[in-house]
Amino acid sequence: MAYQVILIESNQAMLNNMTAVLRQSSEFELAATYKDANAALGQSGMFRPNLFLIDVENAETLDMIPAFVDIFPDSNILGLVSQWNADAAMRVVKGGGLGCILKPFKTKDIIEAIRLYKLRGKSGLSRIISFFSPKGRAGRTTMAAVLALAIAKKSGERVALIDADLQFGDLPIFFDIEPKSTVVDAVQDVKLLTPLNLKSYFHQIKENVYLLSSPDRPEYAELVDTPSLTEVVRMSCNLCRYVLIDLPAGFNPVSIGMCKLSDTVVVMAMINNGFEIQHVKRALGVFKEQETRERKIHTVFTRVNPCTEEEKLKIEQQLGYPVSDILPNEYKMISIANSGRLSKGLPMDSLLMQNMSRIADDVISGKR
């Protein structure tokens, strides 16, 4: 069945170009064209469209996306931009549309965009969750990897794992892969990318789980600048419902930039000699200085023994801040991760995995 298309474009030359492309394809039936979005909104109902292609480079038209979604809830809605614009794409998705594509387009671009954006998951903005620790060996990478697998399995939605520990990222080792592309390649090419070709830079780990790997060599970290990495993350949100970012230990421009971008930051520390609580307290002070209402900070302490509610309350009293989770030491999980078998099976009967499963449920439901 051909798509019944309404095309809205204010530039006459561009409108003519795209009209010709659509009319040459048997997969699209161009029902009507409009230069004015208000006219399209009022008149398109008679054509029973199931696809709107809307020029969103005009701010007024971009504001109307929710109205199109409300009046035509069963239609696919794609925004049209002449160059990739993460802000416009985000507003289209927030308004209930699928996302954006570049104009002028080829018909295969439309079909691929609809397919990819629908595979992403539920409508609405993606979640960006960063995993930060003041120092290393806090279990940050393991938690990010296990949560990605659990969220994808439970939600059926796509999850992106981005290894932003640029010098010593371990996620490729955890999953025993040798990726063809890394975050360096994506950052270097970002000005030329859209979500349709960014997907090839990710390595599929399991169904609905995709990894953008850390650089092959520590010195390549210098090739990754925070603004370009920010663009890669924001573009990834068009492909995946959840974007999980594993950060390097400590504050640096990348970790600060990714935490600012995230709607949730998980601050982690391993209980060892008691200094870790002070480290987390100091880190929370930095986050408090740059805090926004939109961002949530969750604290997680690992290798807690005994892993009891009483111990959690004790840590909270010392920290002076709510503790979201305490996790036990789990040698079996460490062995699985270090041997590259993380995607092949998780010890679901362990206390650690029971906690991870609960956390995944909370993320999916929006409780955290």
In three-state form (DSSP H/G/I as H, E/B as E, the rest C), the secondary structure along 241-300 is CEEEEECCCCCCHHHHHHHHHCCEEEEEEECCCCHHHHHHHHHHHHHHHCCCCCCEEEEE
Which DSSP string corresponds to 161-226? EEE--TTT--HHHHTT---S-BHHHHHHHGGG--HHHHGGGSEEEETTEEEEBPPSSGGGGGG--H
Question: For 232-251, what is each residue's pLDDT tens digit?
Answer: 999 999 999 999 999 999 99
Say yes or no to pLDDT of 77 above 70. Answer: yes
d(CA 101, CA 109): 8
pLDDT in the model for residue 292: 61
The structure's pTM equals: 0.93
Mean pLDDT of 295-312: 91
CB 263 within 8 Å of CB 127: yes
Phi, psi of 201 (to 5 degrees): -85, -15
Say yes or no to pLDDT of 294 above 80. Answer: no
Mean pLDDT of 153-157: 95
Say yes or no to pLDDT of 168 above 70. Answer: yes
Residue 109, burial from CB neighbour count under 10 angstroms (0-12, 13-18, 19+) = middle
Q: Using omega within 30 degrees of 0 as the cis cutoff, is the peptide bond preceding 179 cis?
A: no
Neighbours of 3 (CB within 10 A): 21
d(CA 99, CA 130): 23
Mean pLDDT of 24-51: 96
How much is the CA Rg of the chain, to the nearest whole Å?
A: 23
Mean pLDDT of 47-55: 97
Among 99-113, 259-273, 335-349, 350-364, name the one with the lowest average pLDDT. Answer: 335-349
Domains of the chain are: 3-120 (3.40.50.2300), 127-365 (3.40.50.300)
Percent of the chain surpassing pLDDT 90: 79
pLDDT in the model for residue 282: 93
Question: For 307-360, what is each residue's pLDDT tens digit?
Answer: 899 999 999 999 999 999 998 876 666 666 566 666 666 666 677 788 889 999
Mean pLDDT of 78-106: 96
pLDDT in the model for residue 114: 96
Mean pLDDT of 202-228: 95
> Would you place residue 124 in the very low, low, confident or very high pLDDT band (cuts 50, 70, 90)?
confident
pLDDT in the model for residue 287: 87
Is the C-alpha dihedral spanning 47, 48, 51, 57 positive or negative? Answer: positive
Residue 26, burial from CB neighbour count under 10 angstroms (0-12, 13-18, 19+) = exposed
Among 97-111, 134-148, 179-193, name the one with the lowest average pLDDT. Answer: 134-148
> Would you place residue 84 in the very low, low, confident or very high pLDDT band (cuts 50, 70, 90)?
very high
Phi, psi of 291 (to 5 degrees): -65, 145
SS3 state of residue 127? strand
The DSSP letter of residue 135 is S
> Would you place residue 273 in the very low, low, confident or very high pLDDT band (cuts 50, 70, 90)?
confident
Mean pLDDT of 8-31: 96
More confident residue, 1 or 194: 194
SS3 state of residue 303? coil
Q: What is the residue-averaged pLDDT of the chain? A: 92
